[in-house]
Amino acid sequence: MKKQAILALALMAAGLVSVRSEAAEVSRAVLLGYTCAGCHGTNGNSEGPATPSLAGASKDYLIDAMQEYKSGERASTIMGRIARGYSREDIEQLAEFFSKQKFVPAQGQEADPALAKKGARLHDKYCEKCHADGGTSSEDDAGILAGQWTPYLRYTLADMMAGKSHAPKKMKKRLKKMHKKAGDAGIEHLIHYYASRK
């Protein structure tokens, strides 16, 4: 794959490749993906901690996230600027590429077992419906939470609670309900739970 991509890069630079065949389409996605790898890691598994992994998230989830960065519906430090540089078609190809990579849980994150256990209960009650299989699934267009970098999860949740980043109405409702019952500690328990899933 790597060799192929380097070859494609060289050919593209020389203007020799017309992006028509399926193989060329794949190479183009790989090339687009290289731009992201510096921050999101090889194949979308970030070495963290403030940059999320993209690998294995659903295609629709990744497309939505990029469109939301583009439109400003999602708060960001840099993705707003980056996303604006890509067309809808580019974004679809990038999403296709990253959705097919294997998600590798973030390494070396500490989780307190007692707090993670509390978090597991909160997750089942408030989050499992959409973030299925203990937050490992990205079906229903929701992001992978289990094994994601926790600093990223923490500030994303804060942005969602503050209305700075888009969250589905139903998620917001449940997040608020959870917060009312369990407070900031509840958020921490959830974070420990997601960090404990490897």
Centre a 10 Å sphere on the Cβ of residue 21 and count the other Cβ atoms it contains: 10
Q: Which stretch binds ligand HEC (CB under 6 A): 14-22, 100-108, 109-117, 148-156?
A: 148-156
Beta carbons of 144 and 136 less than 8 angstroms apart: yes
| Of residues 150-179, those binding ligand HEC (CB under 6 A) | 153, 156-157, 166-168, 170-171, 174-175, 178
| Of residues 37-56, those binding ligand HEC (CB under 6 A) | 38-40, 50-52, 54
Distance CA(30)–CA(34), nearest Å, equals 6
Burial 79-90 (b: 16+ CB within 10 A, else e): bbeebeebeeeb
Cβ closest to ligand HEC, residue 126 vs residue 134: 126
Task: Tokens for 72, please give them.
Answer: 């400003």
Cβ closest to ligand HEC, residue 16 vs residue 94: 94
Q: Which stretch binds ligand HEC (CB under 6 A): 4-12, 14-22, 30-38, 113-121?
A: 30-38
| Of residues 7-26, those binding ligand HEC (CB under 6 A) | none
> What letter represents residue 171's amino acid?
M
Distance CA(176)–CA(127), nearest Å, equals 12
Task: Tokens for 78, please give them.
Answer: 């840099």
Can residue 185 be called a binding residue for ligand HEC (CB under 6 A)?
Answer: no
Distance CA(90)–CA(113), nearest Å, equals 42
Q: First and final CA of the chain: distance in angstroms? A: 27
Given 8, 29, 31, 65, the residue binding ligand HEC (CB under 6 A): 65
Cβ closest to ligand HEC, residue 23 vs residue 124: 124
Centre a 10 Å sphere on the Cβ of residue 192 and count the other Cβ atoms it contains: 22
Q: Which stretch binds ligand HEC (CB under 6 A): 10-18, 20-28, 32-40, 113-121?
A: 32-40
Which residue from 66, 63, 1, 11 is spatially nearest to 34, judged by alpha carbons? 1
Given 66, 106, 120, 195, the residue binding ligand HEC (CB under 6 A): 66
Residues that bind ligand HEC (CB under 6 A): 35-36, 38-40, 50-52, 54, 62, 64-66, 68, 76-79, 82, 86, 94, 126-127, 129-131, 141-143, 145, 148, 153, 156-157, 166-168, 170-171, 174-175, 178, 190
